[in-house]
Amino acid sequence: MTEPLLSVRNITKRFGGLVAVNNVSCEINRGEVVGLLGDNGAGKSTLIKCISGVYLADEGEMFFEGKHAHFAHPIDARRHGVETIY
């Protein structure tokens, strides 16, 4: 079994008293196409921004290619091949 390309574990992001993303975990394998669906205000964009270095998650951890990843800025994520295209 191969390790996932990206593993997100227990990510939580708060804005003051508002919990925008609550304890989200997922794994994305190499070559896999993933869709993220949900209601308006469900935290989809916030989760993507946490993964791509726009926001720092308040809790949880992320692994890229099996190594602990901390993308403090979008350029850090881009250097690893992680980028958001709007």
CATH number at residue 62: 3.40.50.300
Segments of the chain scoring below 70 in pLDDT: 1
pTM recorded for the entire structure: 0.90
Number of domains in the chain: 1
Residue 14 forms part of a structural domain = yes
Residue 23 forms part of a structural domain = yes
Residue 85 forms part of a structural domain = no
**pLDDT one-digit tens code per residue, 42-55:** 999 999 999 999 99
Domain span holding position 64: 6-29+38-79
Residue 86 forms part of a structural domain = no
Instruction: Tell me if 62 sits within 8 A of 6, measured CB to CB.
Output: yes
Dihedral, 30, 37, 67, 20 alpha carbons, nearest 10: 170
Instruction: Tell me if 83 sits within 8 A of 75, measured CB to CB.
Output: no
